[in-house]
Amino acid sequence: MMQALREHPSLRVAALMAPGAFWLLLFFLAPLTIMGVISFLSRDAQGFPTPPYTLENYLTIVRDIRFAPSLSFEGGLHVRLFEGLYLDLLWRSIWLSLLSTLLTLLLAFPVALFMAQLPRRYRNLALFAVMIPFWTNFLVRTYALQFMLRANGPINTLLRALGLPPLELIFTPTAVMIGLVYGNLPFMILPLYTSLEKFDWTMMEAAHDLGADTWRAFTRVMLPLISPGLVAGSILTFVPAIGSYITVDLMGGGRTNLIGYSIAQQFSASVNWPFGSALALVMMVIVTIAAVLYFRSARGTQRVLI
Amino acid sequence: MAEYAVELRDVTKVFGDVVAVDHVSMAVRPGEFFAMLGPSGCGKTTSLRMIAGFERPTSGEIYIDGKPMGNTPPFRRNVNTVFQSYALFPHLTVEQNISFGLEMKGVPRDEIKRRVREVLELVRLPQMANRYPRQMSGGQQQRVALARALVNRPKVLLLDEPLGALDAKLRKEMQIELKNLQREVGITFIFVTHDQEEALTMSDRIAVFSKGRVLQIGTPLEIYERPANRFVADFIGETNFLDGVVKEVNGEMAVIEVNGRRFVGRAGEGVRPGVRASLSVRPEKLQLLDQPSGSPNCYEVTVSSIAYVGSDTRVIVRLGDQMIDVWEQNSISTLDPNYFFGPGEQAWLSFPPENGLILVD
């Protein structure tokens, strides 16, 4: 056995990978397969999965989509060709998650840039500071955030003290957005920081030297060179956002529905496991396709760097 | 055209409490190959970065083509830089790297294509347009960096130790190539180096830097044969220093007394009777003889060691308690070991007065 391991490097790699692979197989692939099977089952009187096999759960989603071209000017121009409960839900989820990713990026970039330019000995301290929130349970932190935004919470107390009208924050889409950005900020900062720390600032000087102003040096040289961090951070932010449950539940109070929340509802309140499974798999496929396309679009610049 | 391509007038740069560049003034003529030479930390790179616009002078003014630069950012200066690390954009091909500057200036597409092709011919890399920098050797990357700067046809090309990362042989080749290239394109080159041989080989004129100051500006010949002070004499080439006191000054010549022995040499700046000074005489300008010569600078010495290095024989002799390097050119082909002095033998050390230079510290 040991002899074989010594002689065949590929066996050695396989041996090293085995525990991790086993773990994923047992706790990721197996449940996913079970979920796939459930999504083709019917539900019994209590809502739990039971034979016979059916396509009904997927057909519900497809049947829900109606061709209904419409045009509205309410709150900006809206052109739509299709409508449907789950289509709208998915579309809104993608849109809100993208928006939260963009906001997170805008907030994270200056922080990561600042950290990367700190003297070396302060950088680890800054990294440490970014990771401190992880020491508190996410649920507890979300409750704290909920408390901050409440009608009589610290923010509104402060506003009233300043003679300003209070804001209706909690249980609004804005609150969900605040929660998502807050929760995902470290996952954007860390990969961005890693890319920025490796960034060679002589590149910016070279760009300036060749006649690029600050904006063009940033877009033509810096952005492509830090794109690995940008892509990693965006995916680490977008994917949890679209599937988020706790934040949507506690900050949105069930009034702002995202698809992840809706799926969770199928497993709890609505007790419809087969339909919940189908919805989850459809979402997974769509998110995976989106992520692959995103990776592809960034690959032109990554090919050189990875 | 302005009288000078680049001029520094009383430029000082302070970082925190470190004076990196200390009241430097110098003027570079159009079309000149100008070297800024000095040990690391002497202010030469900071001076170059101020010309490029990456640093702003704390005081003083920099003129490019006669115009004061003030706070003009690097992207509005008609100069381009070849960085020590080359700083090629790793995500762009050679062609895209070279096109970058022209695209920023809004040069039309076909003209960019044509000029990129021309400059790749010029640096002898015509087949490399679609390579990425990491797919090339150091020497090739160096040429790309050069091409990327030259394609913009700047008034002045700034080169920060551009040959520093190359191995010795390639470096020698590139020295000659760079010099030829400069003649061909006729652009003013300002070149930073710590390698004195490189500066001597390539430059029309050299500014010798030390501790943020310019000690001397002159042609390679002037810098080597008439160093302005002890630092320059020591930094450029090899030399022997014999410390003593100036006894007399007669026009261009002076007499210095070193441990009771008198030597005659050229008087450097500030040489007056009674001041402490050093006689600087280069090893190749000394002779070892069997018998005394007629020179006033002729003393008996003991040969301490001898090294045959092919073209030269390098002898170390003792004069009193002073060790002196003597390099004798092997101008005669012989296998006779008795032709050379041996350790412990007596000899006469001699040099004509014009070969010695008396410098105040």
Domain boundaries along the sequence of chain A: 1-37, 84-305
Are B162 and B145 spatial neighbours (Cβ–Cβ below 8 Å)? Answer: yes
Cβ separation A200–B100 shorter than 8 A: no
Query: Residue A80's CB: how many other CB atoms inside 10 A?
Result: 13
User: Is residue B34, in this structure, part of any structural domain at all?
Assistant: yes
Are B50 and B21 spatial neighbours (Cβ–Cβ below 8 Å)? Answer: yes
Q: Which of B228, B258, B284 corresponds to the end of one domain?
A: B228
Structure tokens at B322: 């002073």
Cβ separation B75–A209 shorter than 8 A: yes
Domain tally, chain B: 2
Give DSSP secondary structure letters for B55-76: S--SEEEEEETTEE-TT--GGG
Closest-CA distance, B75 to chain A, in angstroms, reads 4
- ipTM reported for the complex, 2 dp: 0.84
Structure tokens at A83: 């409508």
pLDDT at A299 over 80: no
Amino acid at A7: E
Distance (Å, rounded) from C-alpha B256 to C-alpha B213?
A: 28
Of A206, A211, A305, the CB nearest to B91: A305
CATH code for the domain defined by A84-305? 1.10.3720.10
User: C-alpha dihedral over B229, B234, B236, B237, to 10 degrees?
Assistant: 140
Closest-CA distance, A98 to chain B, in angstroms, reads 27
Q: Does B311 lie in the same domain as B212?
A: no
Within an 8 Å CB–CB cutoff, is residue B87 touching chain A? yes
Distance (Å, rounded) from C-alpha B205 to C-alpha B79?
A: 19
- List of chain A residues whose C-beta atoms are within 8 Å of the C-beta of residue B80: 209-210
In 3D, which of B51, B24, B38, B80 has the Cα closest to residue B196? B38
How does residue A79 score in pLDDT terms, banded at 50, 70 and 90? low
Q: Does B254 lie in the same domain as B149?
A: no
Are B327 and B284 spatial neighbours (Cβ–Cβ below 8 Å)? Answer: yes
Structure tokens at B157: 């090309």
- Mean pLDDT of each 10-residue bin along chain B, 361 residues long: 89 93 94 93 93 94 93 93 93 94 94 93 88 91 92 93 82 86 90 91 94 94 92 91 92 91 91 92 92 89 91 91 91 83 90 92 75
Distance (Å, rounded) from C-alpha B141 to C-alpha B123?
A: 11
pLDDT at A47 over 80: no
Closest-CA distance, A128 to chain B, in angstroms, reads 29
Q: Does B151 lie in the same domain as B247?
A: no
Query: If residue B271 lies in a helix (H) or strand (E), which one and from where to where?
Result: none
Q: Residue A220 forms beta bridges with which residues?
A: none
Cβ separation B54–A207 shorter than 8 A: no
Within an 8 Å CB–CB cutoff, is residue B72 touching chain A? no
How does residue A305 score in pLDDT terms, banded at 50, 70 and 90? very low
Residue count of chain B: 361
Q: Does B260 lie in the same domain as B349?
A: yes
Interface test with B, best of A198, A201, A202, A210 (most B CBs within 10 A): A210
Cβ separation B101–A206 shorter than 8 A: no
A→B contacts (Cβ < 8 Å), by residue, are 200, 202-203, 205-213, 216, 220-221, 224-225, 301, 304-305
Q: Does B262 lie in the same domain as B137?
A: no
Closest-CA distance, B81 to chain A, in angstroms, reads 7
Closest-CA distance, A227 to chain B, in angstroms, reads 11
Confidence at residue B168, expressed as pLDDT on a 0 to 100 scale: 82
Confidence at residue A151, expressed as pLDDT on a 0 to 100 scale: 82
Within an 8 Å CB–CB cutoff, is residue B126 touching chain A? no
Interface test with A, best of B89, B103, B112 (most A CBs within 10 A): B89
- List of chain A residues whose C-beta atoms are within 8 Å of the C-beta of residue B152: 210-211
Confidence at residue B207, expressed as pLDDT on a 0 to 100 scale: 96
Structure tokens at B169: 């042989």
Mean pLDDT within A13-32: 87
Q: Does B285 lie in the same domain as B154?
A: no
Q: Does B176 lie in the same domain as B53?
A: yes
User: Is residue B94, in this structure, part of any structural domain at all?
Assistant: yes
How does residue A52 score in pLDDT terms, banded at 50, 70 and 90? confident
Residue A280 dihedral angles phi and psi, to the nearest 5°: -65, -40
- List of chain B residues whose C-beta atoms are within 8 Å of the C-beta of residue A204: none
Within an 8 Å CB–CB cutoff, is residue B89 touching chain A? yes
Of A202, A203, A211, the CB nearest to B105: A211
Are A201 and A254 spatial neighbours (Cβ–Cβ below 8 Å)? Answer: no
Give DSSP secondary structure letters for A119-146: -HHHHHHHHHHHHGGGGS-HHHHHHHHH
User: Is residue B199, in this structure, part of any structural domain at all?
Assistant: yes
Both ends of chain A: CA-CA distance in Å?
35
- Residue A118: exposure state from Cβ atoms within 10 A (0-12, 13-18, ≥19): middle
Within an 8 Å CB–CB cutoff, is residue B152 touching chain A? yes
Interface test with B, best of A202, A205, A209, A218 (most B CBs within 10 A): A209
Confidence at residue A38, expressed as pLDDT on a 0 to 100 scale: 86
Q: Does B222 lie in the same domain as B251?
A: no
Cβ separation A202–B83 shorter than 8 A: yes
Cβ separation B105–A205 shorter than 8 A: no
- List of chain B residues whose C-beta atoms are within 8 Å of the C-beta of residue A221: 89
Mean pLDDT within A34-61: 81
Both ends of chain B: CA-CA distance in Å?
40
Q: Classify the C-alpha dihedral B29-B35-B38-B41 as positive or negative.
A: positive
Strand order from edge to edge, sheet including B6-15: B18-28, B6-15, B59-64, B67-68
In 3D, which of B54, B64, B147, B174 has the Cα closest to residue A203? B54
- The distance between the two most distant Cα atoms of chain A, rounded to a whole number of Å, is 79
Interchain CB contacts (distance < 8 Å): A and B: 63
How does residue A81 score in pLDDT terms, banded at 50, 70 and 90? low
Q: What is the 3-state secondary structure (H, E, C) of A261-293?
A: HHHHHHHCCCCCHHHHHHHHHHHHHHHHHHHHH
User: Which tops the pLDDT comparison, B300 or A69?
Assistant: B300
Which range marks the domain in which residue B109 is found? 6-228
How does residue A77 score in pLDDT terms, banded at 50, 70 and 90? low
How does residue A302 score in pLDDT terms, banded at 50, 70 and 90? very low
Confidence at residue B106, expressed as pLDDT on a 0 to 100 scale: 92
Q: Which of residues 194-223 of B touch A (CB under 8 A)?
A: none
Within an 8 Å CB–CB cutoff, is residue B104 touching chain A? yes
User: Is residue B233, in this structure, part of any structural domain at all?
Assistant: no
In 3D, which of B7, B57, B11, B43 has the Cα closest to residue B188? B7
Within an 8 Å CB–CB cutoff, is residue B83 touching chain A? yes
CA atoms within 13 A on the CB side of A289: 6
Cβ separation B87–A200 shorter than 8 A: yes
Q: Does B266 lie in the same domain as B245?
A: yes
Confidence at residue A169, expressed as pLDDT on a 0 to 100 scale: 80
Cβ separation A209–B74 shorter than 8 A: yes
Of B73, B74, B89, the CB nearest to A203: B89
Strand order from edge to edge, sheet including B322-329: B287-289, B346-350, B298-308, B312-319, B322-329
How does residue A303 score in pLDDT terms, banded at 50, 70 and 90? very low
User: Is residue B332, in this structure, part of any structural domain at all?
Assistant: yes
Cβ separation B83–A200 shorter than 8 A: no
Distance (Å, rounded) from C-alpha B303 to C-alpha A28?
A: 84
Query: Residue B118's CB: how many other CB atoms inside 10 A?
Result: 13
Q: Does B194 lie in the same domain as B327?
A: no
Confidence at residue B255, expressed as pLDDT on a 0 to 100 scale: 93
Cβ separation A209–B132 shorter than 8 A: no
Closest-CA distance, B37 to chain A, in angstroms, reads 22
- Residue B158: exposure state from Cβ atoms within 10 A (0-12, 13-18, ≥19): buried
Nearest CA in chain A to B83: A206
Closest-CA distance, A116 to chain B, in angstroms, reads 19
Q: Does B292 lie in the same domain as B179?
A: no
In 3D, which of A202, A212, A52, A150 has the Cα closest to residue B89? A202
Q: Does B189 lie in the same domain as B247?
A: no
User: Is residue B1, in this structure, part of any structural domain at all?
Assistant: no
Instruction: Spell A153-182 as b/e; 16+ CB within 10 A means b.
Output: bebbeeeeeeeeeeeebbbbbbbbbbbbbb
Closest-CA distance, B351 to chain A, in angstroms, reads 51
Nearest CA in chain B to A225: B91
CATH of the domain at B296: 2.40.50.140
Nearest CA in chain A to B76: A211
Closest-CA distance, B151 to chain A, in angstroms, reads 10
Confidence at residue A306, expressed as pLDDT on a 0 to 100 scale: 37
Cβ separation B100–A212 shorter than 8 A: yes
On average, the pLDDT of chain A sits at 84
Per-residue pLDDT tens for A206-265?
999 999 999 999 999 999 999 889 988 998 999 888 888 888 888 888 777 778 888 888
Vertex B356, ends B352 and B358: CA angle to 5°?
A: 140
Residue count of chain A: 306
- List of chain A residues whose C-beta atoms are within 8 Å of the C-beta of residue B73: 208, 213
In 3D, which of A187, A218, A221 has the Cα closest to residue A112? A187
CATH of the domain at B81: 3.40.50.300
